[in-house]
Amino acid sequence: TPGHTLCACTTYFRYSQLVTVTIHGTNDSAVIGGVSTDDVTEDNGADGIVAGNLTADGLLTITDVDAGEANFTTQAATAGSNGYGTFTLAAD
């Protein structure tokens, strides 16, 4: 284990002792913000929604005090439950 030698010196005496300092880091959790829920409307062509193009979207943010860890893992067209739809998450 790396250490440093501490020297206590006086006019008449010199004492030295190896001192080891251990630092235990902590992985701080990321904080996800933004809109995490949304409504989906039936894609029947009413209210400007094009039939067959049912979509929902939103913007999520992420912060993390640990350097270089404030990012999402890209998810490209992950299949939904029971074969209904897909889920996509972009890194940006």
Mean pLDDT on 52-77: 81
Whole-number Å distance between alpha carbons of 80 and 64: 29
CA 2 to chain centre: 32
- CA-based nearest residue to 88, from 63, 47, 60: 60
Domains of the chain, residue spans: 31-92
Look up residue 27 and give its amino acid: N
**pLDDT of res. 4:** 67
- What integer best gives the mean pLDDT of the chain? 75
What are the C-alpha distances in Å from 69 to residues 7, 8, 27, 80, 89?
40, 42, 10, 27, 17
Q: What is the pTM of this model?
A: 0.48
